[in-house]
Structure 1
């Protein structure tokens, strides 16, 4: 299921298509050398989608190598791989037809759901996954048992994994807990293998459900499971900022 694509400014779309930089694309537009669906466009505020035909000097732009960054609401029971020898469904089978070649940014465990980004922008994934990037990752977590104040303090200070302490975790109790389960919102600023499962096990709790609702300020919002969409200009700029160490997460107290 693919959500409606958000329009991009024409100059950004041209940069995606590899026509020119955004600034040079703006000059081409103002000079009257760019048309959309056969009509010359000179307004820099014009917005387009991948369904619009963009031409420069009368020549339609080929988008075969276009830059592409999108978000998927990964369902549980889907593997983060391009192929699976066991025949399990992969995240790539959920992406829309017709997009350029992309790779996933990090990964989510088989039964974890939520925000998973894909991109083919050179250096973007590597920048976001740098150990010192401090990219916020926000999760909703259901655990067995009730988290004690002492266990919460340990999470907020940092728990040793692989011989080194984790970075402090922001812990917030959500509604809906009962005598046997607790719902938590956790914000992490690093990503290790099975990170949340391991830190919760270290304080005596097993995870029964795990959902990532934000990564680097890109929020899941109301996207249905299995849905995907292209990121808009502001979201792409936010990712680029995190990848280069020049951004701060928007909204939700820095948690994205």
Structure 2
């Protein structure tokens, strides 16, 4: 039989050197506070409780204890606070979140705005408009002068566009503005047939294309020579149909344009109109057969576009030609007036505007308005 040996295991004390090791074994070094706590016996625990000092709230109901100095209970994971100091209720105790459709839409209250007083109520008007009404300048000229600092209101310079003032305030203009205004030209043209007054249309050239050095009338007594800047902002003051001839005024001066074609213009325009009586087209003497009552209607009593026309001076110039003098200029006014009384216009020529007559100015030529001439 094989002899069995009895092996006895002994606890290692750490003082002996285990077999196979040259150095003694070291116990692991524990950090501060990591030493194992000694288990207390029941008697030792009872003795510690007896020696603990009594708390002032010991024995009182929990609801009556002051919680000013009591630490807040540590929330569970499902009760994590949304921000410090606030406990979130349990997930199953929260009300369901409203959907976007069920959620009421509440507009944030806005602070009330102060009441705005309409500008018309304070009695002030735009400075440029007041200057135009007083005849000091056109609206465009007024804006230019204000930007240049040439306008004073009650002695103070006003250089901001859109400024509003009271109608009774005093307005003065710097002499430099008057000098610049004097340099603006006005041109008198004898317009031929086939040219339009304003911008080009239907392939027809505007009358301003005739303002060239070679077309300046030799009888021009203004002693002014043509320059390219004279064409800048040169605009017609009153239209003349493509089939009409005669005096056409083109100007850079807004005051002249307003005086000639403004709504409250009192400047007379004189025309010579050749007509044909529709009832008797072959008549040699239209003036002899045309009814006097219809002539009176031409003078006063007609309406165009629902508007009653102002009184007009109408008289016979010869057997086929009428002389019209009127103070308004609606589109194709004379031609439409004649149609209402059975007349057909075969020729129309403007011979005067205010005190300025066409005179001997040849067809297709032009001249400057002299400084001593006024409309």
Does TM, normalized by the shorter one, top 0.5?
Answer: yes
> Cα RMSD between the aligned structures?
1.8
Q: Does 1 or 2 have the higher relative contact order (CA < 8 Å, sep 6+)? A: 1
Q: Write the distance in 1 (CA, Å) between the matches of 2:275 and 2:325.
A: 16
What's the secondary structure of 1:199's corresponding residue? helix
Give unmatched runs, 5+ long, in structure 1: 1-62, 240-256
Q: Which residue of 2 aligns with 1:232?
A: 370
Q: Distance in 1 between matches of 2:315 and 2:360?
A: 21
Q: 1:149 to 1:229 in 2, by over 3 A?
A: same
- For 1:90, the equivalent position in structure 2 comes to 206
Asked if 2 retains the 8 angstrom alpha-carbon contact of 1:73 and 1:226, the reply is: yes
Separation in 2, partners of 1:218, 1:142: 22
* Number of the residue aligned with 1:28: none
Matched, 1:67 2:184: yes
Match of 2:310 in 1: 167
> Aligned match of 1:220 in 333, 358, 362?
358
Q: Does 1:115 align with 2:247?
A: yes
Is the aligned partner of 1:190 residue 2:328? yes
The aligned runs of 1:1-256 (5 Å cut-off) are 66-84=183-201, 86-97=202-213, 98-99=227-228, 100=230, 101=232, 102-145=234-277, 146=286, 147-175=290-318, 177=319, 182-235=320-373, 238-239=374-375
Equivalents in 2 of 1:190, 1:197: separation in Å?
14
Q: Distance in 2 between matches of 1:81 and 1:122?
A: 16
1:124 is displaced (CA, Å) by 2.2
Measured against aligned partners, the alpha-carbon deviations of 1:91-120 in whole angstroms (never above 9, x if no partner) come to 011112425121111210111100100110
Report the TM-score, using the length of structure 1 for normalisation: 0.62
Structure 2 spans left out of the alignment, 5+ residues: 1-179, 214-226, 278-285
| Higher percent of residues as strand | 1
Distance 1:223 1:124 in 2: 21
* Residues 173, 119 of structure 1: alpha-carbon distance in 2 compared, 3 angstrom cutoff: same
Q: Where has structure 1 moved over 4 Å in runs of 4 or more?
A: none
Q: 1:184: how far off?
A: 0.7
SS of residue in 2 equivalent to 1:135: coil
Deviation at residue 148 of structure 1 after TM alignment: 2.1
Is the contact made by 1:173 and 1:184 (CA closer than 8 Å) also made in structure 2? Answer: yes
Larger Rg computed on CA atoms: 2
Cα displacement (A) at 1:168? 1.1
Instruction: Spell out, residue by residue over 1:172-229, the C-alpha distance to the aligned partner (whole angstroms, 9 max, x if none).
Output: 2112x2xxxx211110111101000111011111101000001122101121111100
Q: Distance in 1 between matches of 2:301 and 2:200?
A: 36
The number of aligned residues is 168
Contact 2:258 2:265 in 1 (8 A): no
Q: Is the contact between residue 158 and residue 169 of structure 1 (CA under 8 Å) also seen in structure 2?
A: no
- Distance in 2 (CA, whole Å) between partners of 1:105 and 1:159 is 25
